[in-house]
């Protein structure tokens, strides 16, 4: 109704007294019967249902909802889950009976990944990055019919908070795009709290229903009590050398920005970085990504001005999010959506892992040595692309298998965005980064050709047998911008 374009305002209809609106009678959003809600939502065959993974391996919500969908005989669902964990192995029968036909996710581990690799999914699996997922939802590439948002707490009107309730998980960054764009949004909670539930990660204006169930998750699977720095001497050597790499870039100075994963070596890099910053009296601008207690301590000690948090990894980070105003929630879109201004674009350094890396610096974190799906990009692609220097930290051998290959099994992150590899037996720089090669030479930091390091590792351990695959393509490795960078094949049993 664009009245501004009316040439004659007399033609505009004005309400009669009898037609005047009555006072608002707030709709009751609270539902306690899952089956009834699924019916009321009108979920039909081939619907697109989404879930977030902030409850990680403690999540009961996805299994609860999808089993009800199965009970009601709905088929052909496209499951848009930001990540899938071993707890979701209960979905395997739903692949077999056709309840779930396609899966779109950023990470998959456990028996569900194994079942998909062995061909049990009738449709396709699309592996996205976290930023790529947000992009595809926000720009309409993926249209979600219903978003089921696991909610550590919600009030009756749908204000959802990840820091209140029994099963807290902290920020809900991966669910924001879903809540904005899904046709229907359901908060699924086991803690219905008094209005207003504050601070809300997702506010009531985006939520259609509040489904109250007995339990949304298993606490010990949701967050780690603590995340630990590795004690492995080889991992510590890699971490120390990584700090030398960071120093040699010349970017490790006042106001730098940083992201690392929560793996043992990455945490060791953070621990060494902290010592370095204190010794050299350097204060960073921000750290981002999944946040651990190690980073919240650095925030408390004034070593960083702010933390951008898309996911809390441990209890300490949840506590910090609750009380420290400089610990800032961010959505997956703000984190890494390539179509908007994103935090990753302001990163100086990112420290990342790799299951495999090839001589062209392509990285695989999607499949394991047996070719089976056991991971995914998460923020790997996004941070590698956005950061000034992306550093892969990895041991040269993983369970006696050399990590450097001629060609990785599945390309998760293209080598054109990967800058440095640090192993215990040498540092390799992507030849595309002539500036870094020059800087490292100046800093007298020895580097080694990735092909030489590959030959050395193969001379010690031999070359791994190729993984046996069938000709059937079961899915795609999608780049953050929507383009496809690799096929995913069915693995031969």
Residues at the site binding other proteins, with contacts judged by CB under 8 A: 231, 233-234, 236-237, 240, 424-425, 460
Residue 28 DSSP code? P
- Which run of H or of E encompasses 52? none
Max CA-CA distance within the chain? 89
Q: Would you say 443 or 460 has its CB closer to other proteins?
A: 460
Q: How many CB atoms sit inside 10 A of residue 28's CB? A: 10
Between 214 and 279, name the residue whose CB sits nearer to other proteins: 279
Structure-block tokens of residue 20: 């005047």
CB of 226 to other proteins, least distance (A): 15
Backbone dihedral region for residue 465 (phi beyond 0: left; psi -120 to 50: alpha; all else: beta): beta
Nearest distance, CB of residue 295 and other proteins, angstroms: 22
Contacts of 18 (CB under 8 A, 6+ apart): none
With b meaning 16 or more CB within 10 Å and e meaning fewer, what string describes 327-345?
A: bbbbbbbbbbbbbeebbbe
Q: How far is the CB of 233 from other proteins (least distance, A)?
A: 3
In angstroms, give the least distance from the CB of 404 to other proteins. Answer: 17
Cα 353 off chain centre by: 14
Q: Are 332 and 281 in contact (CB under 8 A)?
A: no
CB atoms within 10 A of CB 233: 9
Q: For 94, how many CA atoms within 13 A lie in the half-sphere containing its CB?
A: 28
CB atoms within 10 A of CB 308: 23
CB-CB neighbours of 400 under 10 Å: 10
340 token code pair = 């908007």
Least CB distance to other proteins at residue 237 (A): 6
CB of 457 to other proteins, least distance (A): 12
Which contiguous run of DSSP H or E holds residue 260? strand 258-260
Both tokens of 335, joined, read 């984190």
SS3 state at 51: strand
If the CB atoms of residues 180 and 234 are measured against other proteins, the closer one turns out to be 234
Give the distance from CA 403 to its chain's centroid.
23
Nearer to other proteins, 231 or 323 (CB): 231
Residue 236 or 389 with smaller CB distance to other proteins: 236
Choice between 237 and 388, CB closer to other proteins = 237
For the bound state, the minimum distance from the C-beta of residue 352 to other proteins, rounded and expressed in Å, comes to 22
In the complex, least distance from residue 460 CB atom to other proteins, rounded to whole angstroms:
7
Report, in Å, the least distance between residue 64 CB and other proteins. 43
234 vs 445 by CB, closer to other proteins: 234
Q: Which is nearer to other proteins, 117 or 394 (CB)?
A: 394
Strand order in the sheet with 389-393: 327-329, 304-312, 284-291, 258-260, 349-352, 389-393, 420-423, 426-429
- For residues 430 and 457, which CB has a smaller minimum distance to other proteins in the complex? 457
Residue position matching structure tokens 């040439």: 7
Pick the closer one to other proteins by CB: 219 or 425: 425
CB of 448 to other proteins, least distance (A): 13
Minimum distance of other proteins from residue 414's CB (angstroms): 30
Joined together, the tokens standing for residue 230 give: 């590795």
SS3 37: helix
Comparing CB distances to other proteins, the nearer of 234 and 437 is 234
Backbone torsions φ then ψ of 433, nearest 5 degrees: -95, 70
484-491/469-478 β-pairing: antiparallel
The answer to whether 327 and 336 are in contact (CB under 8 A) is no
Preceding omega of 96 cis (within 30 degrees of 0): no
Between 434 and 459, whose beta carbon lies closer to other proteins?
459
* Tokens 């037609």, located at residue: 19
Least Å from the CB of residue 425 to other proteins: 6
């Amino acid at each position: 109704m664009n009245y501004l374009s009316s040439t004659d305002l007399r033609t505009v209809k004005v309400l009669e007294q009898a037609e005047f609106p009555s006072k608002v009678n707030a709709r009751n959003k609270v539902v306690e019967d899952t089956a009834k809600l699924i019916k009321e939502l009108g979920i039909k065959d081939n619907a697109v249902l989404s879930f977030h993974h902030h409850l990680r391996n403690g999540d009961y919500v996805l299994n609860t909802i999808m089993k009800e969908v199965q009970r009601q005989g709905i088929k052909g669902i496209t499951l848009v889950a930001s990540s899938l964990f071993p707890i979701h192995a209960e979905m395997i029968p739903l692949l077999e009976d056709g309840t779930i036909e396609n899966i779109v996710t950023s990470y998959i581990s456990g028996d569900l990944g194994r079942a998909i690799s062995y061909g049990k999914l009738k449709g396709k699996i699309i592996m996205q990055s976290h930023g790529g997922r947000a992009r595809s939802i926000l720009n309409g590439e993926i249209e979600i019919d219903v978003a089921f948002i696991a909610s550590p707490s919600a009030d009756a009107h749908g204000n959802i908070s990840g820091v209140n309730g029994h099963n807290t998980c902290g920020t809900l960054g991966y669910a924001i795009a879903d809540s904005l764009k899904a046709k229907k949004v359901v908060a699924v909670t086991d803690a219905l709290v008094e209005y207003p539930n504050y601070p809300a990660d997702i506010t009531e204006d985006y939520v259609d229903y509040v489904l109250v169930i007995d339990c949304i998750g298993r606490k010990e699977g949701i967050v780690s009590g603590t995340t630990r720095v590795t004690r492995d001497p080889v991992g510590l050597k890699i971490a120390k050398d990584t700090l030398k790499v960071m120093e040699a870039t010349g970017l490790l100075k006042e106001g730098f920005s940083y992201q690392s994963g929560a793996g043992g070596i990455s945490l060791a890099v953070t621990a060494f970085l902290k010592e370095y910053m204190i010794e050299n009296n350097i204060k960073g601008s921000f750290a981002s990504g999944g946040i651990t207690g190690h980073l919240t301590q650095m925030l408390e000690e004034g070593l960083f001005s702010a933390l951008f948090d898309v996911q809390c990894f441990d209890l300490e980070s949840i506590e910090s999010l609750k009380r420290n105003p400089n610990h800032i929630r961010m959505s997956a879109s703000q984190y890494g959506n390539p179509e908007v201004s994103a935090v990753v674009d302001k990163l100086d350094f990112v420290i990342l892992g790799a299951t495999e890396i090839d001589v062209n610096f392509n990285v695989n974190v999607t499949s394991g040595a047996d070719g089976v799906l056991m991971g995914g990009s998460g923020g790997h692609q996004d941070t590698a692309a956005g950061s000034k220097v992306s550093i892969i930290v990895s041991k040269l051998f993983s369970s006696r298998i050399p990590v450097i290959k001629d060609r990785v099994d599945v390309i998760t992150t293209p080598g054109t965005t990967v800058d440095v590899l640090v192993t215990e037996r040498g540092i390799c720089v992507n030849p595309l980064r002539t500036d870094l090669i020059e800087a490292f030479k100046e800093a007298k930091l020895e580097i080694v050709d990735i092909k030489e390091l590959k030959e050395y590792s193969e001379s010690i351990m031999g070359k791994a047998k190729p993984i046996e695959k069938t000709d059937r393509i079961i899915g795609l490795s999608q780049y953050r911008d929507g383009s496809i960078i690799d096929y995913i094949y069915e693995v031969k049993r």
